[in-house]
Every structure is written in C-alpha cells, then in structure tokens.
Structure 1
Amino acid sequence: MAGHPGQYSIAVNYFPETAALGDPDAMLGLVKQALERGDASGVERWAPVIVAQDETFPDHRAGPGLLGLW
C-alpha cells in the first residue's frame, strides 16, 4: 500500500473490524488491498457489499466513530 508509512499497518489492523461494522471506506480499502495482492476472494467478499449500499456518498467518519475514536 503506497502512501504514508503507517497506512498499511492501520489498514491491516482496523479495516476488517470497521468494515464488519459497516464502514464503506474500510471495505474499499480491503478491496484495494485484495486487488493489489491478486486475492479474488477478498474482492468478492467486500465489493458486492459496497455496491449494494444505498448511500450516494458515504460518511467518511463512520469507522472511527464505530470504534469509539470520535
């Protein structure tokens, strides 16, 4: 995962938990990671959930709030 050095660690540790709680940004991060690794099952797990959401532009604060970080 390109970008800030700590991003991959954050993604690995927090995206699965926040995605399971409904955070679309975390789900998208997991799909991105799966695509980068060639992990079809990871894409198949989260991509349909993202597409099925009825929000036009999801609230990006959902994950930290769901974890009690806000």
Structure 2
Amino acid sequence: MIVSVFRTSICPSDIAFLSTIFDKIHAIHKWNTDLEDCDNILRIVSYKDIADSIINILAEQGYHIQELEE
C-alpha cells in the first residue's frame, strides 16, 4: 500500500463531491481528511502510486493541492 498525504483547499462541504470522484478510482483503498488541520489534509491509501493523478484531478476541479513529503 502507498500512503499519499496532501495539503489542500478542501472544505467540509466538498466531502460528498470528493467521494463521488474517489469512488470511481479503483486504485484507492481508502481515503480521509483532517479539515481541522491548518493544511486541510487529504490522506489517500492506494494500491499504486496515484499522487500525480490525484493532484491533476483535484486541480482541474479548482482545488489547490500539494503533496507533502514525509
């Protein structure tokens, strides 16, 4: 499993919309957010490295997203 962590501009009202996107990506095992963190964290556990794809998908939807290094 690969864990990717992102700084985002996601807000609580975006969760249902994100769920419709992420449910279609079969490589995602699970995902969650920490919107109480100042960086509005998105954490994705996937079967393969899909970080670049997630960045592109969310950027196309108008979100600011940056992968955080461990």
Q: State TM-score, norm by structure 2.
A: 0.32
Structure (1 or 2) with the greater strand fraction: 2
- Structure with max Cα Rg: 1
Identify the structure with the greater helix proportion.
1
Relative contact order (alpha carbons < 8 A, sep ≥ 6): 1 or 2 greater?
Answer: 2
